[in-house]
Structure 1
Amino acid sequence: MQTPAQNAQLALLLEVAGTPKPGNVDRHRDLTDLRFEHFLAGAVGAQRGLEMAQNGAAVGPSFEQAVAEMADQGGGNTQFGALLLLVPLVRAARDDLTKPVVEGVVEGTTVADAAAFYRAFEHVDVFVSDPPTELDDLDVRRGSEAIPAIEDRGLTLFDILERGVPGDDVAREWVTGFERSFAAANQLADANGALSERTASVFLSLLGDRPDTLVAKRSGEAIAAEVTDRAAALADRNAVQTDRAAVDAFADELVEHGINPGTTADVTAAGLFIALEHDILEI
């Protein structure tokens, strides 16, 4: 039986192996500066941070460690958002991987966890929106320089992420008890076909359910909504199994235009982990 940390690494590997995932790196598609093998190396690099969470370390330091070593490969940021979901899920799996337990883990984070989260931004380049002027001292891109402001305001990591809703759906998972992640796990169990196809189908379904917040930040809400509508139409007819060519064409088009639904991939990875921990996936 695999440990939670091992299942988290496996979830990262299965996520990137899911094919086709429109706009994202998969087995058949690389981005300009981000390749399939970078994701494999990132998943391996995250091991020690995930093991820290599994062994009871606090969420913030575990996340910082996972990110620091995830980023120690040529692609840089491969799985920052996914690790922000997986670390508290791994920590919760020490007791019982249920929504109430995960909620307790994230709501119990501290100011020190928030400080570690900010330090993690010094290891990797993460696309974030500019904060309101009055919150400029809390801009995550300031890294360690923002820690005095966090401490002065007594902000926990949960507080920081709560401020990211509704603009960031990784943060939204923290606030909603990982609602979509648990739903994705159930979808994976109910899907048909090889696991790579099931992963791709669930990714497409998630993308068709809500506009990807990374796409909205980078390309605008109108583009994000259009991508969601097209994904929903493909998901409704189970196109990964019934019309692979149509999904492949959609995937190629998004890559060509630099549209990367990375947040949807993060939630997919979290769903894979939950499904693995609940033993509802056969591998």
Structure 2
Amino acid sequence: MQTPAANAQLALLLEVAGTPKPGNVDRHRDLEDLRFEHFLAGAVGARDGLETAANGGAVGAAFERAVAGMAGQRGGNTQFGSLLLLVPLVRAAREDLSGPVVEAVCEDTTVADAADFYRAFDHVDVFVDDPPADMEPLDVRRGSDAVPVLEERGLTLLDIMSRSVPGDDVAREWVEGFERTFRAAERLAAADGPLGDRTAAVFLSELAERPDTLVANRSGEAVAREVTDRAAELVKRDALETDPEAVEVFAEELVARGVNPGTTADIAAAGLFVALEHEAIDV
């Protein structure tokens, strides 16, 4: 059995290797400025931060360290959202990787954790929608410049995640006990075939059930709903098995349109970690 940090790194590598994942980088397709090898390098760079979490370090410090390492490659933001899910999961794996334990890890976060989360934005550009007017002083894009306001208001990292729902489904995982993450792990365990194919199938199933919040924030809710409806149609007719070319066409179309369901990919990466830790899948 590998260590939690090693399994988290492996989950990042397996996620990007799965194909086809419509609109996302995978081993068969790149985006214009973001390539497969950038994700491989990002996963390698994140290892020190993941080790920090596995060794019992504070969640915020571990996350900032992971992001700083991830950002060492030339592609920019590869796995920010995935790491925001993986760090508390890795921390929980020290005790028991279950919903209640991960919830407790998130509930125990502090103002210092929130400050380190903001500092992580100093390392890499992350797409974030404009905040409401009353949240502008706490716009995460301000990075470390927003820390004094954060500290003045006494907000923990879980407080920040709570304020990001419903517009961010990575934050929603923090608030709702990583429900989709654990469901994705169960789906991976129940699926058949090579792990890359299973990852693609779980990605498509998750996309078919819930509009991707990154797509909604970048391209609008109508586009996010359209993408989900089309994914649902492909899942309904088991297209990955019966008509794989249709899924490939969908994948290429989303890339061409610049529609990137990145939040769904983050859920898939987190699900892979849980499945690896539970020894429900192996490599």
Normalising TM by the smaller chain, what interval? over 0.9
Q: Report the residue type matching 1:220 in the other structure.
A: G
TM-score (norm: length of structure 1):
0.99
- Residue 264 of structure 2 corresponds to 264
Deviation >3 Å, runs of 4+: none
- Residue 14 of structure 1 corresponds to 14
Cα deviation, 1:248-275, whole Å, max 9, x if unaligned, reads: 0000000000000000000000000000
Q: Confirm whether residue 136 of structure 1 aligns to residue 142 of structure 2.
A: no
- Residue 255 of structure 1 corresponds to 255
Q: Which runs of 5+ in 2 are unaligned?
A: none
Cα deviation, 1:200-227, whole Å, max 9, x if unaligned, reads: 0000000001000000000000000000
- Residue 67 of structure 1 corresponds to 67
- Whether the 8 Å contact between 1:42 and 1:70 is mirrored in structure 2 is yes
- Residues matched between the structures, number: 283
**What secondary structure sits across from 1:15 in the alignment?**
helix
Q: Confirm whether residue 48 of structure 1 aligns to residue 48 of structure 2.
A: yes
Shift of 1:236: 2.0
C-alpha distance in 1, partners of 2:243/2:270? 26
- Which range is displaced more, 196-205 or 131-140? 131-140
Q: Report the residue type matching 1:189 in the other structure.
A: A
Alignment of 1:163-178 (within 5 A): 163-178=163-178
- Residue 124 of structure 1 corresponds to 124
TM-score (norm: length of structure 2):
0.99
C-alpha distance in 2, partners of 1:280/1:185? 8
C-alpha distance in 2, partners of 1:240/1:7? 27
**What secondary structure sits across from 2:151 in the alignment?**
helix
Quote the RMSD (CA, aligned, Å).
0.6
- Whether the 8 Å contact between 1:197 and 1:241 is mirrored in structure 2 is no
C-alpha distance in 2, partners of 1:74/1:33? 9
Cα deviation, 1:5-55, whole Å, max 9, x if unaligned, reads: 000000000000000000000011000000000000000000000000000
Q: Report the residue type matching 2:216 in the other structure.
A: A
Q: Which runs of 5+ in 1 are unaligned?
A: none
Alignment of 1:1-283 (within 5 A): 1-283=1-283
Quick one: percent identity of the two aligned structures?
73
C-alpha distance in 2, partners of 1:145/1:210? 34
C-alpha distance in 2, partners of 1:241/1:88? 35
